[in-house]
Amino acid sequence: MDFDLTMVNWARAQFAFTAMYHWIFVPLTLGLSFLCAFFETIYVRTGNKEWRAITKFWMTLFGINFAIGVATGIILEFQFGTNWSNYSWIVGDIFGAPLAIEGLFAFFLEATFFAVMFFGWNRVSKKFHLFSTWMVAIGSNLSAVWILVANGWMQNPVGMTFNPETARFEMQNFFEVVFNPVAVSKFVHTSSSGFLFASLFVLSISCWFLIKGRHLKMAKRSIIVASVFGLLSSSFVAFSGDESAYVVAQKQPMKLAAIEGLYKGETTAGLVAAGILRGDKQPGDGQDPFLIKIKIPFMLSLLANRSFSSFVPGIDDLVYGNEEQGIESTASKMAKGKTAINDLAEFKIARKENNNPKADLALARFKKNQDYMGYGYLDKPEEAVPPVAIPYYAFHIMVALGTLFPVLFAAFLFYALKDSLTRESLKKWLLPIGLISGFLGLVAQESGWVVAEVGRQPWSIYGLLPVKASTTNLAASNVQITFFMFFVVFTLLLTAEIAIMLKQISIGPEEGPLK
């Protein structure tokens, strides 16, 4: 089959661009919705108007962020149809269900109670308003559950079978799809990292107020709530990050090898804590992939297999095979895959011609190799390797930042509980770090997304359907035009969002109750 690679790459770029833009706003929605619910809960329990002013301030920022999150999100669902119609048909039987459930149960919860959250202060009772704020938070996170069930299935396709009659994958077990270990670990990791990011966002803005000497009471109270939430979230992020890495090692060994820059598999493999990759490194060339590196002995084996002495396959093992470890080469899988594609074609033609004996024979041959069909679309074994440097650096940036954040939260909590956040000396080091921590959180968020999705390449459905076989039969020029339309519109909206957000921050909370 011939593929229009120009179209494939533009469609890929468009998805990456729109998803990364969307991902600027989503984690903040996930976490800030809960922080608003915490602030409002304190207000309702204490009846203290100061907490109401604090709630309303953060809610205003939540609303500004939420609107652009919604705007950038709608295209992601429909883009599967417009740019990836072959994908939509081949896996729609499984992939569509979580998206529909997300729409029904999560989006309506958000949409319905959002109006109460913003306009219901004097229209409904205090308790119903609080209930609505919680419903928005739950709805936002419920949305994450279903979208990550869908994404988890792309990373680890389970609970389905290929139906040659319809030429698509069909669901066999819904619960396997929902409780897919990749989906579960992804949800915990993604939502808790969203909580963490939102805590950093609150910390950042509060630090700005402290540095400027404005709205001190709100800033200090916000920091206490955000630090506690951030610390708790950090522990979930660390736990689920470890679990995610383990699941990746089991289900997507190529992705793990890429994010660790591991070309030659090792027993008692060490974890690269930091290192610079050699720019000209290619699979199978025998070069050391690193110019310099710092390794923690045994840790990669422990992370990947929960055993210090286990074997972790490298890129070369997965591409060229490793008989000793029982790893089949990609070339061998490709040969089986091409046979499967030919047998499927023969089956489909025979069926169309009502030649059932011939169809049955072709089907029997197809079934022997059907699991390898995706590999049949690859042109060379090395195509199975993702662009190593991108997930490698993204992973290490994410982990480094993820290690810094709990320390930061602990420091802020310590000074907040001592009521010494306004101390002059802190303006020289802790508050400036806190100020930029929101941006660092965003970098960690985007890095995590890059690890997950670039590390999945070249597959749209891991091991089964390559990205290049997933696209719509569409001239590249269409996607190029829409790419630039998205670029212009999203950038305009982001600029507006930042301008509005900064202005609202500088206006600050309602002063009266906080004096």
Partner 1 sequence: MISTLDYAILQQLWWIIIAIVGALFLFLTLVQGGQTLLWQVAKTDLEKTLVITSLGRKWKMPFTTLVLFGGALFAAFPKFYATSFGGAYWVWMLILFSFIIQAVSYEYRKKPNNFLGSTVYELFLFINGSIGILLIGVAIATFYTGSNFTLDLYNRVTWNYTLLGINLRGLEAAFSLFNLSLGIFLVFNARVLGAQYLLNSIDLSSTPKLESKLRKHTWNSFLIALPFLIYMVICILFMKGFNVDDAGIVSLVSSKYLSNLLAMPHLLILLLAGIILVLYGVLLSKFKGSHKGIWFSGLGTVFVGLVVLCLPAFNNTAFYPSKLDLQSSLTIYNASSSHYTLAIMTYVAIGIPFVLGYVVYVWKLMDSKKLTKEEVINEESY
Gap between the Cα atoms of 184 and 187, Å rounded:
5
Site stretch for partner 1 (CB under 8 A), options 76-84, 281-289, 422-430, 449-457: 76-84
For 13, 46, 162, the CA distances from 165, given in Å and listed in that order, are 33, 64, 9
Cβ closer to partner 1: 114 or 187?
114
| Nearest Cα to Cα of residue 316 among 384, 414, 366, 402 | 384
Is residue 65 within 8 Å of 15, Cβ to Cβ?
A: no
Candidate segments 43-51, 171-179, 214-222, 369-377, binder of partner 1 by CB under 8 A: 171-179
What is the pattern of x (binds partner 1, CB under 8 A) and - over residues 492-511?
xx-xxx-xx-xxx--x----
Tokens representing 45 are: 């329990």
Q: Among 115, 407, 417, 436, which residue interacts with partner 1 (rule: CB under 8 A)?
A: 115
Tell me which of 6, 46, 49, 100 binds partner 1, using CB under 8 A.
100
Tell me: does residue 6 bind partner 1 (CB under 8 A): no
Interacting span for partner 1 (CB under 8 A) from 163-171, 362-370, 374-382, 415-423: 163-171
Q: How far apart are CA 55 and CA 286, in angstroms?
A: 58
Among 82, 282, 310, 355, binds partner 1 (CB under 8 A): 82
How many residues of this chain bind partner 1 (CB under 8 A)?
83
Distance CA 201, CA 23 (A): 15
Q: Which amino acid is at 104?
A: L
Q: With respect to partner 1, which residue has the nearer C-beta, 432 or 508?
A: 508
> Least distance in Å: CB of 170 to partner 1?
4
- Chain residues 336-375 in contact with partner 1, contact rule CB under 8 A: 345, 348-349, 352
Are residues 350 and 358 in contact, defined by beta-carbon separation less than 8 angstroms? yes
Shortest distance, position 453 Cβ to partner 1, whole Å? 20
Q: Residues 280, 357, 473, 512: which binds partner 1 (CB under 8 A)?
A: 473
Nearer to partner 1, 167 or 296 (CB): 167
- Does residue 417 bind partner 1 (CB under 8 A)? no
Residues 262-291 that bind partner 1 (CB under 8 A): none
- For position 474 contacting partner 1 by CB under 8 A, the verdict is yes
How do beta strands 160-163 and 168-171 pair?
Answer: antiparallel
Taking the complex as a whole, the smallest distance from the CB of residue 273 to partner 1 amounts, in Å, to 42
Give the nearer residue to partner 1 in terms of CB position, either 420 or 491.
Answer: 491
As to burial, measured by CB atoms within 10 angstroms (0-12 exposed, 13-18 middle, 19+ buried), residue 471 is buried
H or E segment and range at residue 296: strand 290-296
Nearer to partner 1, 96 or 432 (CB): 96
What is the spatial distance between Cα 203 and Cα 231, in angstroms, rounded to a whole number?
12
Using the CB atoms, write b or e for 377-389: b if 16+ within 10 Å: bbeebebbbbebb
Q: Does 485 bind partner 1 (CB under 8 A)?
A: yes
Distance in angstroms (rounded) separating the CA atoms of residues 377 and 363: 19
Helix (H, G, I), strand (E, B) or coil at 273: strand
What amino acid is encoded at 493 in this protein? L
Which region, judged by CB under 8 A, interacts with partner 1, from 45-53, 68-76, 316-324, 384-392?
68-76
Residues 218-237 touching partner 1, rule: CB under 8 A, are none
Of these, 3, 9, 41, 81, which contacts partner 1 (CB under 8 A)?
Answer: 81
Q: Is 413 in the site for partner 1 (CB under 8 A)?
A: no
Q: Residues with Cβ < 8 Å from 463, sequence gap 6 or more?
A: 157, 374, 375
Q: Which of 224, 46, 60, 218 is nearest to 126 (CA)?
A: 46
- Distance (Å, whole) CA 378 – CA 94: 24
Q: Smallest distance from the beta carbon of 171 to partner 1, in angstroms?
A: 5
Which residue number, 46 or 477, has a Cβ lying nearer to partner 1? Answer: 477
| Torsion (CA) 342, 347, 350, 356 in degrees, nearest 10 | 150
CB of 278 to partner 1, least distance (A): 41
The piece of 110-118, 232-240, 430-438, 439-447 that touches partner 1 (CB under 8 A) is 110-118
Q: Which of 6, 163, 309, 403 binds partner 1 (CB under 8 A)?
A: 163
Q: Is 488 a residue that touches partner 1 (CB under 8 A)?
A: no
Which residue, among 37, 438, 501, 500, has the nearest Cα to 202 in the 3D structure?
A: 438
Half-sphere exposure in the Cβ direction for 217 (13 Å, CA): 13
- At its nearest, how many Å lie between partner 1 and the CB of residue 109? 8
Span interacting with partner 1, options 265-273, 384-392, 445-453, 484-492, rule CB under 8 A: 484-492
403 binds partner 1 (CB under 8 A): no
Helix/strand/coil percentages in the chain, nearest 5: 75, 5, 20
- When asked if residue 475 is in the footprint of partner 1 (CB under 8 A), the reply is yes
